[in-house]
Chain A
Amino acid sequence: MGRYVIRRLLQMIPVFFGATLLIFLMVNVMGDPIAGLCGERQCDPATAAQLRKEFGLDKPVWQQYLTYMGNVFTGDFGTAFNGQEVTELMAEAFPVTIRLTIVAIVFEIVIGITLGVITGLRRGRPVDTGVLLLTLVVISVPTFVTGLILQLLLGVDWGVIKPAVSPEAPFNELLIPGLVLASVSLAYVTRLTRTSIAENARSDYVRTAKAKGLPRRRVISRHLLRNSLIPVVTFIGTDIGALMGGAIVTERIFNIHGVGYQLYQGILRQNTQTVVGFVTVLVIVFLVANLLVDLLYAVLDPRIRYA
């Protein structure tokens, strides 16, 4: 187990460098960011040169990358064009997005798995068909449509929620945005759980458990569900990374000052430091989440062992 974890951690190193290098190059390809700082006019050449020097943009790209990575390892993610430290931006944005992600994941787990178990056990019944149809609708409607409609109905017409989340973004204000963000994944979780449950319900160990005379509740929770959760856990694990970085649409609709918003603004202003910094952290989150998922397999299914 320990060796497996170490091997996986070592594998992360090249992935980490590769990913950051790619992002660094991509942002660089977009061209000189200084030109966008002076509005609809030409920056005066002297100030532009001075700024380029200050942000290290006058050096070749490989040198910029090396300096940047060197700084990252000392905890310095650079400075955004508005004079804020990128670490400061991260300290503001990540807690908000983590809260949003927690809300979304809780929705996925609670609603998704519950619906999945119910439909999986009642295959072909009206409730199964109903939920399947519902998930189909949710999957086919884009997030921004769901988001804007809920915002308009609940926020403006019925006045149940505030349409815009305050900068502090406490949990209670994130419920609806979290639901919107989770909606599509939630539908997938339902479908995955349903299939998995339906498949395992006919397996030998479930029949044995039933034959032993175990109560139905125990059969479902201990034997059936536990074994059926492996694909679901994989999905949710990878979804953590996707939810954290991919909430741009939801965050913009509901005025959430999280990672997605910072990335969006960073890209618009071609702020290499912000974009690379945030993506680097996201890459790490993604890698760690994946590792945790793999380790969870062993917990869920005793047959899986990591030597």
Chain B
Amino acid sequence: MRGAAHARWAACAVAVALTATACGGGGSGGGGADGIVSSSWGDPQNPLEPANTNEVQGGKVLDMLFRGLKQYDPKTGEAKDMLAEEIDTTDSTNFTVTVKDGWTFSDGEKVTAKSFVDAWNYGANLKNNQKNAYFFGYIEGYDQVHPEQGRPTAETLSGLKVVDAKTFTVKLSQKFSTWPDTLGYAAFSPLPSAFFSNHAAWLSKPVGNGPYVVESYAKGSKMSMRKWDGYPGSDKAQNGGVDLNVYTDNNTAYTDLTAGNLDLVDDVPASQLKNVQADLAGRYINTPAGIIQTIAFPFYDKAWNTPGGAKVRTGLSMAINRQQITDTIFHKTRTPAKDWTSPVLGVDGGFDDSLCGDSCEYNAAEAKKLITEGGGIPGGRLKLSYNADSGSHKEWVDAVCNSINNVLGNDRACVGNPVGTFADFRNQIGQHKMPGPFRAGWQMDYPLIQNFLQPLYYTNASSNDGKWSNPEFDKLVDDANAESDNKKAVETFQKAEGVVRDQMAAIPLWYQNGSAGYSDRVSNVSLNPFSVPVYNEIKVN
């Protein structure tokens, strides 16, 4: 017994000594172009495949590892050609894509037309369980590789054809004039043959064609990426690499940043927002992101789908004091919504801060009048559902309810209805069990007005959780998609958005900003419209 006890203490002492020196050796490292940026990270929810990553933590990695046919400009969000030499169409249905010369994956393999076609076929095939498969839904033959029920009857999308090493053609199943602009999304990334031949090895150390290469990946704790010197693109990394560290809690990451052990936190916890200026001396960014928060309604419930319903919904919208809530609860990291899109689209892209108009302005008297005229709140009480496990939703839901209650002069008119976990919340929505309106958030996939309207409000669309349906809206969206002139297409989409406003299909609450704090070791930090840090532009001092 005694000997064993001694041995253990000796082992501990050695462990302490070893790690102490190991810690001393690490730390800040060199500056200049070789400096390494350490950044906070969360454990990605799904395996790191381009067509299987639908949340921001995995998205960060793909953003550094891959470049697709198009790339969204980090500042304006405009879709610019990256690997695409040109994408040609005459009828908005048949596209010819030419891939630029000179691009390779970091393992040396050339990026060809086949790299894209194989990747897209993989992403669309039901067998591969890719959660972003629906992105390929516009391509002809999707129904065969990804049927609603049963087994796929085809292995590949019939609409995709490789012409030669540089060229492939795409046939869509419907007209979609702005389809090329969707190709900047990570799901459309090319994949090297190593992805298919040795899938498990690829997952444990992904290989792409972006400005960084993976040096090491310890699942669930850390990913080290280093600058790829042979990267052929113009947006080369300005630093030596990025270390992504998984934090158990964003408060801890923030504390680590203030202690000088971390360079970048891209998710400043709400509770720290009031200290952020003092703690970081201006090294804090708060910029609009393509995220809008709304309140959705259960239109499958007869009580909410009445002729006077639009009046009630508009009244509720006018009963919410958005400015006060964004100022006090969110410390201006949200901006009161004026339409159903996002400021990151820009005026040319379809953002219009006058579209909602009075319907989104706080007006207690008018709100009360409209709600009464429309027949009052169904069931006499509004239960506003939200998931309580993340995102400090409770605070704002309570504030929204408070605002509505004050307007109606009834303390019990609106109450929050917390649901324990996000999964359960999504589940209840999916099974149409929501007892009333519920919170809804939408983060754009690509900066197009189409992406803010069609998936959310088109009849039976993938994210039309409230099952709202309006033939006029559907027709306008179809028209807009068929329109080959971009400006006219945007205008038609705005007309469709007008229908959403008149019916108040969902109450727009606020646009969400991306926020990040950084240390004095780094500079030139910015967030792109997807609220992901633009890692390759960060400079280490």
Contact = CB atoms under 8 A, between A and B. Distances in A.
B424 to A, nearest CB: 5
A152 B440 CA distance: 36
B374 to A, nearest CB: 28
B232 interface: no
A269 B426 CA distance: 12
B203 interface: yes
A242 to B, nearest CB: 20
A170 B16 contact: yes
A88 B218 CA distance: 11
Contact of A54 (B16, B129, B249): B129
B54 A39 contact: yes
Contacts of B174: none
Given A172-B20, A267-B421, A156 B131 contact: no
B406 interface: no
Contacts of B357: none
Contacts of B256: 162-164, 255
B462 A42 contact: yes
Nearest to B463: A41
A252 B149 contact: no
Given A44-B462, A167-B246, A84 B219 contact: yes
A255 B218 CA distance: 16
A253 B462 contact: no
A152 to B, nearest CB: 7
Interface in B211-229: 218-222
Contacts of A256: 248
Interface string B120-132: 0000001101110
Interface in A247-296: 251-257, 261, 264-265, 267-270
Interface in B35-71: 43-47, 54-55
B375 interface: no
A163 B255 contact: yes
Contacts of A152: 255
A126 B7 CA distance: 39
A37 interface: yes
A11 to B, nearest CB: 27
Interface in B253-298: 253, 255-256, 258-259, 261-262
Contacts of B421: 30, 36, 267-268, 270
Interface string B418-459: 001111111111100000000011110000000000010000
Contacts of B259: 155-156, 159, 162-163
Interface residues of B, number: 67
A31 B423 contact: yes
A253 B389 CA distance: 17
B348 interface: no
Contacts of A128: none
Interface stretch (A12-20, A45-53, A112-120, A209-217): A45-53
Given A41-B455, A46-B148, A152-B255, A167 B245 contact: yes
Contacts of B427: 31-32, 35-36
Main secondary structure of the interface of B (DSSP, over half): mixed
B127 to A, nearest CB: 8
B521 to A, nearest CB: 16
Contact of A31 (B45, B253, B424): B424
Nearest to B252: A255
A156 B254 CA distance: 11
Interface string A186-228: 0000000000000000000000000000000000000000000
Interface residues on A, range: 35 or more
Interface string B364-385: 0000000000000000000000
A88 B203 CA distance: 15
Interface centre among B18, B221, B252, B429 (most CB of A within 10 A): B252
A257 B147 contact: no
A268 B390 CA distance: 9
A261 B248 contact: yes
B245 A170 contact: no
Given A46-B126, A164-B252, A82 B46 contact: yes
Given A30-B423, A265-B43, A83 B15 contact: no
Interface string A31-69: 111111111111111110111001000000000000000
B12 interface: yes
Nearest to B262: A164
A156 B463 CA distance: 44
Nearest to B16: A172
A33 B442 CA distance: 20
Contacts of A44: 133-134, 146, 462
Given A46-B149, A167-B221, A172-B19, A36 B248 contact: no
Given A35-B430, A172-B16, A156 B255 contact: yes
A113 B28 CA distance: 41
B471 to A, nearest CB: 22
Contact of B46 (A81, A88, A156, A166): A81
A98 interface: no
B339 interface: no
A170 B54 contact: no
Interface string A127-168: 000000000000000000000000110011001001110111
B129 A45 contact: no
Contacts of B134: 44
A257 B246 contact: yes
Contacts of A5: none
Nearest to B390: A268
A171 interface: yes
Given A151-B255, A270-B423, A43 B245 contact: no
Contact of B129 (A47, A173, A255): A47
Contacts of B443: 39-40
B465 interface: yes
A21 interface: no
B252 A163 contact: yes
A89 interface: yes
B396 interface: no
A152 B226 CA distance: 32
A50 B129 contact: yes
Given A35-B424, A159-B259, 7 more contacts: A31-B428, A45-B148, A47-B130, A81-B46, A82-B45, A168-B19, A170-B19
List 10 A-B pairs, minimum CB-CB distance, nearest first: A36-B423, A170-B19, A167-B221, A35-B426, A41-B463, A83-B47, A35-B427, A270-B423, A164-B256, A156-B259
Interface of A: 30-47, 49-51, 54, 81-84, 88-89, 92, 151-152, 155-156, 159, 162-164, 166-168, 170-173, 251-257, 261, 264-265, 267-270
28 contacts: A35-B430, A37-B131, A38-B131, A39-B54, A40-B441, A42-B465, A43-B131, A44-B133, A45-B148, A45-B149, A46-B126, A47-B146, A50-B126, A82-B44, A83-B203, A92-B220, A155-B255, A159-B259, A162-B261, A163-B259, A164-B255, A166-B23, A167-B245, A170-B22, A173-B19, A253-B251, A257-B221, A268-B422
